[in-house]
Structure 1
Amino acid sequence: MPVRHLDFYTSQKNLISIQPLSILKDIRLGIDGNVWLKKIVSMAASEQYLAGIGGTPSCMRKVIEKELEGFKAASIHPLFVFSGLALIRKDKPYVNDDAKIAKRNAAWDAVNSGKMELALSSWSTSYVHLPDLIHLVFRILKENNIDYIRAPYGAGAQLVYLERNPKQIIHAVFAGSELLMFDVDRVITSIDFVKQTFSVISKKAVLQDLMLSDDQFLDLCILAGFDHCPTFPPLSAEGAFAFKSIHELLQQHRTGFNAVKAYADSPQVKSNYVDLFCRTRCAMRHQPILTDEGHIEPMNVAQAPSDIHEFIGYRLPEEVYYYISRGIITEATLNTMLCGYSAEFSPLCNGETMEYRTFLTTDIMKMKAQTLALMKAQLHSAYDRKISIVYWFEGNSAPEHVIKADSAPVSVEAISHWKSGKQSVEKELKKTGIASPDFSFCLRLVANASDASATVLADSAEKPAALSTLADVQTRHLSKLLQLRSFITSSHAPSPYGKAVLDAFKGQPSASTEFQDPLVIALELVRASLLTSRPYSHNYTKKQVLSDEVATKAVRLIARTTSLISARFTGVKSWAGPLSRDLLAFNSINKVLTRNLRHLGEALLLEMLLVNECQKEALDFTELATHLPFAHEPSTVQGILVKEYLETLTLNAANNNTLNKDQAVQQVEEHIGATSLSSLTHSVKEELQRGFVFWSIVCEAVKSLGASNAISKEAAQEFVEANNWVKSRKI
């Protein structure tokens, strides 16, 4: 967040200058990616339904591409800098979502009462978690040949270094007003491509107006409160806080440290606030940056203290910071490892089902154990520390849940016996006609027992040659990921789950490329007994729509399954149609699984790079990063469309009002409304057809699992019964 009330102060004092955009022509503009991304999300704020359907904003790609067109038209050359690791907190994370949960419940009560305007006002606050968008953002920037990096820590410090660099890597900075805490002359805080203007704040003007020195201004901002430090407690009351009161306090005591010490005995001041103030101040002066020579060093290195680990944690190898900068690994897992805590906050559905909570404390915890084991495998023993998880539903007084390394279902050591097989990856890619390796491709390479055994490296064998092509690295990475998730065995043959993936696409080879990630997700959820026709412990549908229990179970299972794929949106208008909180509860499970599989894949790739399994000088790391799996999280819309269609068809038949399929589709279109229809790239009929194709693929995979006794007969039978019921109803 920005410095509290600083924007209001600069606006009130007319310290913001409006300039013509033409001034910025032909400059290289450094952009704080996080500040810019918040702007993008706010520009897509018309998607008020997002909190009710989950997923990512459907308008986001269009908004980003329009922004990039604006830069191009103005002849501005952007360099986006995104924040990396967080500064270390010494206290246990505070996880209290009571206010959010109450607000969401109020919104859903309004939905159930038909008061959509009231619900949308409750959802007006953005529920988008920016780190979940970063993979899609990187992919869009890469596709448009736009330069971007991730800073080792804060984007602000990195931008200041780039601007101050004698090589003039960038000429100006677009960021939030909080960048004024650093040694900068001015900050561009907004750009309006319609009006062809930009807003800029001069730090000199701000200091003159406040009559403060540069050091005093930094103290003022820290005491006012921002991302890394809360507002000074004696002056933090909501509604009563004024920037002026902090200013007066600083004028009285001359320095922030003096002001904090003067209140040290006050019951309002937490015992650790003095320490937090000092660490924050040091962080703003000496935050590590990535130099143009590829080294990591503190800002103002000559004056930096010897104990900066107090606010950044133990220093990581420079190679790791470089991979952060290229987007190979995002900050979530590294932050967990450095601070010793992982916090789980409530999902959009509020996470009230026992199934969701059990999934977090069992399967997801085991996946986190795998991820952390991969992270720690090649790092110093100092990182081999206790890691605990805190959950929103247990309260802050609950005991910590320690992630135990031995809980990982497949160990790091088990995936270390890979070498190149008999088949050439590039030749096989050309033969199959796919652009890059995917899960099915990797499984086909080892489907034959002889081919599988050829990839097993004996314990006594010499270390194999490093992988030299992008395709080889991607294939090895996906194969190891499949082994970690038990789709490939220790002998490198497909397990029953791996065979299920191969069997699923035999009848639908053309759908293979589109449905790789969703199918793996589906099978993970089948294994966890979460993709099922049974209702969850907390059922939000108080009265069943269909009176027939067989139909109800079939629709529930098919809708859950098809909601694993994304509906295709135009990116111009937003969904404003029917909602389903029960599907949102399933979507929350899908979301947490997708996110943790993504983190596992990142950690695995990092481990491969650190052990020199790849010829690094031959790789385009941004290309490698943007092709990592599980980058997208679907909304519930595809499942809602299928659910609406099947219920419409079945209800009319039950009332002796027989509709043909096209008539049922027409009724669905009338129900979801013109706005939602115009938000879809394809017709409702085409989306339904696509949903049923994916349903058939999953049914084939489950049939394969049932035949190999990898799942219970009851679990397999649920899909058989649902498929038999829907056969005559498919489009």
Structure 2
Amino acid sequence: MAAFKEWVQSEGLEFSGKIDQFRKSCIAFDAEDYLDTLLTATLSREPLLPALGGLPFALQKHVDDDLQRFRDADIKPIFVFNGLQAASKDGTMVAREAKRAAKILDDAWSIYDQGRGEEAVNAFGKACTYKIQHISRWLSAHLHKAGVTVLTAPYSAAPQLVYMQQQGFCDGIAGSAACLVFGSERVITSIAWDSGLVSWVDSATCQGRLIFTAEAFADLMLLSGCVPTLLPAYAEAEGELPHIQALRGILTQMRGDGYALLLQRQQQHKDEEYLDAFRKARFAIKHSVYTKIDGTVETRDAARAPGDVHLFTGQRLPDEIYYYLLRGVAGARVLDWSAHRQITETPPLDGGNSHTYQDLVQNKLVDLRVKALAVMAVNLNRYFQHGVFQAAYWFNDAKSQLSVREGIEPVKGLMSKWHVPEAILPDGLTSHPLADALGLLADEKTAKSTMTERPNATPGVLEKPVELLGNTVLRALHDAGYMYADHTLSAWGKAIQAAFKEAQNNGYVAMGVTETEAEEAILVAFELLKLKVLNSQHMFPTPPYSGPPLRGNDTDKDNTLLVSRVACLGFFSHREIGYTGPLSRHLLAYHQMTTAVRASLRDLLEMHACAMLMSGSVSRKTIGDKELRDLGTSLPFTREPDLGLALVVKSYLDELSNEPSKRQDITRWFNYVTDMEGDLQKAWKMWACVNAGVQAAETSIIGESVKKMFRNADKWLQEKIAAAAASNGLV
């Protein structure tokens, strides 16, 4: 995306005007281009983001500052996010791009391990926008809470923006070259608040400078990777850096025909795959898809579109689903899987070289994913209910198959019993949906009162926003195994309820960066326990996974590792500035496992929300656009934790296990942490909650060996904390 903006600046193709000219106007933004700019701009980029996961620490400040500037300039912004992935960019290509990004990160870690800190920071910065889906989800929710209009396009945001501009819903659009390719006459490329200038380019000027037709210009933008949702850069696929001017010279020799160029190259390099993807991308531009104001999904130039549109867009989903996507009830991930019948796994931030992570995504998370797909398919036709899904992994060329057919009927039976009215739901459910939903079922009599079917299939029995949230969460938790068919708590439900009670008693529930931090951390911890990956086993080989616990004896190292892994589930306090401090690829590898579990839980919640709406359970009279957006924003797992708290805990415990004469003050290692003592106290309380749930669990679900491991680690931890307190600690 940056390549196009750099090119127009270097060629002097931008026009500029005063921001005042846009007063009382509406500008629609390609949200992910806006986010990409924040993540890569010199003044706002945080190069160590790929080594930490989570959100950039200053992202919210940058966004809020921009929103205030819009208010001051009397400009109304609208943000449009990308939706589903077009079929032109198949799973193989996505995996290939991800492998290149992982290689960049692998090189960065190698440099870091050699002690070349400054070079490592620069190397990490090259992959600064890698894995931004969770950042987009947070941005969408944050903008909505700030009162900004947020939409999600059916596919690429660009044709949605062009439609909005053509229909007069906005006065201008801001984004990448994709907007020009999809038919906009001009696009805003930057807003320089300091100088008070807005810069834009128009299609005619770009084409005139290149001496290209509109079709040739589109081919150039596709092949250079400037329309990122459709096709990776061709030169990049060949191991070179994409360069618009160099590619322009080659295209000129072929009279601006990108297809002819690729056909010639295909004969030399046998790259039929890329040639086919290019054909699909061309059609995806010519027959782009967008949502109209009445909610229907339209294909541009539909009368001339071929009968196999699904080959370059993906299988058509019902318009109702695109509407829930538009309003943010669901993200695109499971919808993508359904439309393309393919689950594509890309490497995590640590590179994904460990067997443990590969086993997690290939085997252990299959159950949650199949459940999410089954929930999605319940209200769809036989094509979606009986299809076989291909699962492709970056580490294995062999594809496995998944089927959702057997999960359909159980899901139908489960969902039919959850129509709990507001009168039964807890008062605080909107603040603590996971804990309060399970707490509702702690009493067997109350639990059985939640078995609420729709009488005679009456439509619209759920009429209040809290009913949407409550029933979505209850259905998802039931599906995840935390309650029985009669709605009483299962063994797992009772164990996690003990952990939630401890969070109330020890004050952990009130210490989160977000209202739901504590309950989300506890739920993910128990999912990890279910999957048998929350332990002190050495899952990641060193090397290449540098940064495991180093101090003390084997017991010290094992316990430090276990407590630090629990700490991966929480946030820590940090100034609104890029991180500086120690890193750990070892802990990052575990953090990425927790991220995969969180994503699967979020998928399940979103699909249950959609299924509930599509089944007719929700009133269409009282639940409108705002309530739908509120539902998507209020679902748990909107924001992903970073690795910071785990790094603080690991560093602290490592030093406590060091020889007293060699111990160091770790506060000097974390320059911008604002409340290290508070962070450590939160980590100890989080640990106490998880341990309480483990000890309360029946041995049929958590064996005695695991309980003993946690008991021993807890005793060790209390001794370390007491010893630190006696010597005034390290912080």
Question: Tell me, what secondary structure is at the counterpart of 1:297?
Answer: strand
Please state if 1:701 is matched with 2:693.
yes
Aligned partner (choices 508, 512, 526) of residue 511 of structure 1: 508
Please state if 1:400 is matched with 2:407.
no
Per-residue Cα deviation, 1:262-291 (whole angstroms, up to 9, x for no partner)? x38723363366654443223212211111
Structure 2: 5+ residue stretches without partners: 510-515, 726-731
Aligned partner (choices 690, 706, 711) of residue 702 of structure 2: 711
Aligned partner (choices 451, 454, 472) of residue 456 of structure 1: 451
Whether the 8 Å contact between 1:86 and 1:153 is mirrored in structure 2 is yes
Match of 2:17 in 1: 19
Per-residue Cα deviation, 1:588-620 (whole angstroms, up to 9, x for no partner)? 110111111111211111111111121133221
Match of 1:374 in 2: 375
Aligned partner (choices 418, 435, 440) of residue 440 of structure 1: 435
Whether the 8 Å contact between 1:235 and 1:245 is mirrored in structure 2 is no
Change (3 A) 1:152 1:137: same
Change (3 A) 1:65 1:459: closer
Greater shift after overlay, 282-291 or 717-726?
282-291
Amino acid at match of 1:529: K
Aligned partner (choices 511, 522, 527) of residue 524 of structure 1: 527
Match of 2:588 in 1: 584
Match of 2:85 in 1: 86
Structure 1: 5+ residue stretches without partners: 658-663
Which structure 2 residues correspond to residues 142-221 of structure 1 after superposition, within 5 A? 142-165=144-167, 168-221=168-221
Amino acid at match of 2:716: W
Please state if 1:347 is matched with 2:333.
no
Aligned partner (choices 622, 639, 647) of residue 632 of structure 1: 639
Match of 1:282 in 2: 283
Match of 1:725 in 2: 716
Per-residue Cα deviation, 1:400-445 (whole angstroms, up to 9, x for no partner)? 111233786994234224244598245x30xxx5644512211122
Per-residue Cα deviation, 1:496-547 (whole angstroms, up to 9, x for no partner)? 2211222123344243354011100001111222111222252445886333
Amino acid at match of 1:469: K
Question: Tell me, what secondary structure is at the counterpart of 2:666?
Answer: helix
Please state if 1:110 is matched with 2:107.
no
Whether the 8 Å contact between 1:220 and 1:247 is mirrored in structure 2 is no
Change (3 A) 1:223 1:723: closer
Question: Tell me, what secondary structure is at the counterpart of 1:348?
Answer: coil
Change (3 A) 1:327 1:423: closer
Greater shift after overlay, 557-566 or 206-215?
206-215
Whether the 8 Å contact between 1:366 and 1:407 is mirrored in structure 2 is no
Change (3 A) 1:584 1:233: closer
Please state how far the C-alpha of 1:374 moved relative to its aligned partner: 1.3
In 2, distance between residues paired with 1:537 and 1:220?
Answer: 43
Question: Tell me, what secondary structure is at the counterpart of 2:32?
Answer: helix
Whether the 8 Å contact between 1:234 and 1:268 is mirrored in structure 2 is no
Change (3 A) 1:212 1:240: closer
Please, what TM-score do these two structures have when normalized by structure 1? 0.89
Match of 1:621 in 2: 628
Whether the 8 Å contact between 2:91 and 2:344 is mirrored in structure 1 is no
In 1, distance between residues paired with 2:598 and 2:481?
Answer: 16
Change (3 A) 1:443 1:239: closer
In 1, distance between residues paired with 2:236 and 2:518?
Answer: 55
Per-residue Cα deviation, 1:160-197 (whole angstroms, up to 9, x for no partner)? 111111xx210111111332223322211111111111
Match of 1:642 in 2: 649
Question: Tell me, what secondary structure is at the counterpart of 2:269?
Answer: coil
Whether the 8 Å contact between 1:456 and 1:492 is mirrored in structure 2 is yes
Aligned partner (choices 495, 511, 522) of residue 500 of structure 1: 495
Per-residue Cα deviation, 1:358-413 (whole angstroms, up to 9, x for no partner)? 1112221221111111111211222342211222222xxx2211123378699423
Please state how far the C-alpha of 1:156 moved relative to its aligned partner: 0.9
Please state how far the C-alpha of 1:213 moved relative to its aligned partner: 3.6
Question: Tell me, what secondary structure is at the counterpart of 1:565?
Answer: coil
Match of 1:485 in 2: 480
In 2, distance between residues paired with 1:21 and 1:230?
Answer: 34
In 2, distance between residues paired with 1:306 and 1:28?
Answer: 37
Per-residue Cα deviation, 1:14-42 (whole angstroms, up to 9, x for no partner)? 22112221111111111111111101222
Change (3 A) 1:486 1:16: same
How much identity, in percent, do the aligned residues show? Answer: 23
In 2, distance between residues paired with 1:717 and 1:234?
Answer: 52
Count of aligned positions: 702
Question: Tell me, what secondary structure is at the counterpart of 1:266?
Answer: helix
Change (3 A) 1:502 1:308: same
Match of 1:660 in 2: none
Whether the 8 Å contact between 1:253 and 1:259 is mirrored in structure 2 is no
Amino acid at match of 2:648: L
Please state how far the C-alpha of 1:153 moved relative to its aligned partner: 1.4
Amino acid at match of 1:676: Y
Please state how far the C-alpha of 1:256 moved relative to its aligned partner: 5.1
Per-residue Cα deviation, 1:557-580 (whole angstroms, up to 9, x for no partner)? 11111221111333x222211222
Please state how far the C-alpha of 1:325 moved relative to its aligned partner: 0.4
Match of 1:33 in 2: 31
Please, what TM-score do these two structures have when normalized by structure 2? 0.89
Please state if 1:473 is matched with 2:473.
no
Change (3 A) 1:238 1:457: same
Match of 1:565 in 2: 570
Amino acid at match of 2:269: Q
Question: Tell me, what secondary structure is at the counterpart of 2:343?
Answer: strand
Change (3 A) 1:273 1:559: closer
Please state if 1:690 is matched with 2:695.
no
Change (3 A) 1:194 1:370: same
Please state if 1:550 is matched with 2:555.
yes
Amino acid at match of 1:71: F
Whether the 8 Å contact between 2:39 and 2:129 is mirrored in structure 1 is no
Whether the 8 Å contact between 1:233 and 1:269 is mirrored in structure 2 is no
Match of 2:513 in 1: none
Which structure 2 residues correspond to residues 658-669 of structure 1 after superposition, within 5 A? 667-669=665-667
Aligned partner (choices 672, 675, 691) of residue 676 of structure 1: 672
